Amino acid sequence: MRAINKMMSGIGGGLAIATLALTPLAAMAAGPGTATSNLTTVSTGYVSDSTGNAEAQSNAEFAVAPGPLTLNSVPNIQLGSVGVKSIATGSPVLPLVSGTTTGGTGYDGNGSDSLNVTDYRGDHAGWSLTVGMGPFTTTGKDTVTSASLALDATAGAMDNSTTAAPVSLTLPQSTLTSSWVTNPETLWLADANTGEGSNSATLASTTALTIGKEPTVTAGTYTATMYWALQDAPAATTPAS
């Protein structure tokens, strides 16, 4: 009988050992996990008991896609009329007036004196906007050679309040090289970490054209092309031809 009990005891011990071998080991850690030991690698999970909670951490994620830097509007510049005598005998100043231009070869300008740049790149790199003025000519190719434009713009709504306003410029009539002005000037400069979002400005009433004395001036309608260039960095350069 003792032999039989010993045999059964041995069998029972063997079954207990076999059962333990087949049972997954419990994760005694309460979490959260690490890169190598976490709920995806520990099949039985974290243990919550009277000593503390089982804690876990997971991730939420989204991507932000970059957008463009765009020049959305540039103004036509309508100036007041002047007589031949005023130019022949003096240096008249022609003020900015309401309305749009009727001639010329530039087709991008608006008649509302508005300027707008948007920056949705998301890299906070900054940008610069240059402008230059070509020669004033008539359809008959007569020219005014001594004109200069005082260009002033008033800042409007800007999404980043730290963005600088446009500066005031005095633009001479510029010569052209490869169909672009040779000496554009920086009107609006957004340093790094500024200029994001939408940036608006409007021509100021102080914008005006001064024409030097030219006794041989020819009557007619004179137009000049304005050359605007938006560059994707705060350091302005002449656009490549």
pLDDT digits (tens, 9 = 90+) for 211-239: 999 999 999 999 999 999 999 999 766 55
CA 73 to chain centre: 14
Q: Are residues 121 and 226 in the same domain?
A: yes
Is the pLDDT assigned to residue 143 strictly greater than 70? yes
Q: Are residues 94 and 202 in the same domain?
A: yes
CA distance 24 to 221: 93
Q: What total of structural domains would you count in the chain?
A: 2
Place 168 in a pLDDT band, splitting at 50, 70 and 90: very high
What pLDDT, on the 0 to 100 scale, is given for residue 236?
61
CB burial readout 11-32, b (16+ within 10 A) else e: eeeeeeeeeeeeeeeebebebe
Q: Are residues 130 and 195 in the same domain?
A: yes
Q: Are residues 53 and 76 in the same domain?
A: no
Higher local confidence (pLDDT), 115 or 31: 115
Is the pLDDT assigned to residue 22 strictly greater than 50? no
pLDDT digits (tens, 9 = 90+) for 47-71: 999 999 999 999 999 999 999 999 9
Is the pLDDT assigned to residue 120 strictly greater than 90? yes
CA 226 to chain centre: 22
Q: Are residues 82 and 198 in the same domain?
A: yes
Of the candidates 231, 229, 239, 226, the residue with the CA atom closest to the CA atom of residue 105: 226
Q: Considering the domain boundaries, does residue 180 fall inside one?
A: yes
Place 4 in a pLDDT band, splitting at 50, 70 and 90: very low
* Average of per-residue pLDDT across 115-120: 98
Q: Are residues 36 and 114 in the same domain?
A: no
For residue 218, give its domain range.
69-231
Q: Are residues 100 and 198 in the same domain?
A: yes
Place 182 in a pLDDT band, splitting at 50, 70 and 90: very high
What pLDDT, on the 0 to 100 scale, is given for residue 239?
55
Q: Are residues 121 and 38 in the same domain?
A: no
Q: Are residues 37 and 1 in the same domain?
A: yes
Is the pLDDT assigned to residue 140 strictly greater than 70? yes
Q: Are residues 101 and 187 in the same domain?
A: yes
Q: Are residues 36 and 90 in the same domain?
A: no
